[in-house]
Amino acid sequence: MPRVKVARKSTAIDMTAMCDVAFLLLTFFILTAKPKVEDPSKAEVPPSSKEVTIPDDNVLTISIGKGGKIFLGFSGNDVRTETLKTMGDQVGVSFTPAELNKFANTEIFGVPMKQMKQFLNTPSDQMKNFEQTGIPADTTINNELSNWIITARKANRGIHSKDYNIAIKGDRLEQYPSVNTVITVLGHQKLFKFDLITTLKAAPKRH
């Protein structure tokens, strides 16, 4: 009796579900990815042989750029909004919702309060051409840096119930007095623990 031959059929795989998952993952990464923000301080950090990772959130960073210009950045859009409102009240300046929203999305800045409205009303495509003169940190005349740090820390504690981790980012060619000014401001607030941001030094070659 002859065998019955079963016709061979190619296996069909439905890729619809896999495509849906791939697009969902792609959408997630696009929405959660943070664009690289250009650092206006242009600070070239010094090298170091020790590597310690600084967390991305809950950090207040003081950057010292070329010419001793001081820049400030702190995490939390809601904290930035509340901080700017308070700083404005201290100098008698009110900010529009659009200005508050722009500052909330500004990760680092270096302008005195008298130029803040001009800074916030500069179009985004022209922002890189805006000359940021640095935050005043004169301990005897006009110490806006100290006021910013105090106000931001207070806002962060009020909103998130925790204090900031402090980090200092200084240009490797900058003179010590500029760095000492920042350390002195922190010392007046009893902040003696902070991180110094550096770049990792390449290991020496072995012959």
**Measured CA angle at 91 (ends 89, 96), to 5 deg:** 55
Q: Give the model confidence (pLDDT) of 37-75 as tens digits.
A: 566 655 565 555 556 666 678 999 999 988 889 999 999
The residue among 168, 170, 167 whose CA lies nearest residue 66 is 170
Tell me the average pLDDT of the chain.
Answer: 81
Contact 108, 41 (CB under 8 A): yes
Average pLDDT, integer, range 86-94: 94
- Specify whether the CB–CB gap between 109 and 40 falls below 8 A: yes
CA distances from 118 to 103, 112, 131, 189 (A): 12, 11, 11, 30
Q: What is the pTM of this model?
A: 0.75
State the Cα–Cα distance between residues 114 and 189, nearest whole angstrom.
24
Cβ–Cβ contacts within 10 Å for residue 44, how many? 13
Q: What is the model's pLDDT at position 124?
A: 86
Q: How confident is the model at residue 29 (pLDDT cuts 50, 70, 90)?
A: low
Cβ neighbours for 151, distance < 8 A, ≥ 6 positions apart: 83, 86, 87, 90
Cβ atoms of 62 and 71 within 8 Å: the answer is yes
Closest C-alpha to 168, from 133, 196, 146, 187: 196
Each residue's pLDDT tens digit, 125-177: 888 889 999 999 976 777 999 999 999 999 999 999 999 999 998 877 767 78
Residues contacting 76, CB < 8 A, separation 6+: 57, 58, 156, 159, 160
Alpha helices in the chain (DSSP H): 16-32, 77-91, 97-104, 116-120, 144-160, 176-188
Alpha-carbon distance of 55 to 72, in angstroms, equals 17
Q: Give the total residue count for the chain.
A: 207
User: CA–CA separation, 62 vs 145, rounded Å?
Assistant: 9
Share of the chain above pLDDT 70, in %: 67
- Contact at 8 Å (CB) between 49 and 201? yes
Domain edges within the chain:
47-200
- Six-digit token pair at 45? 């950090």
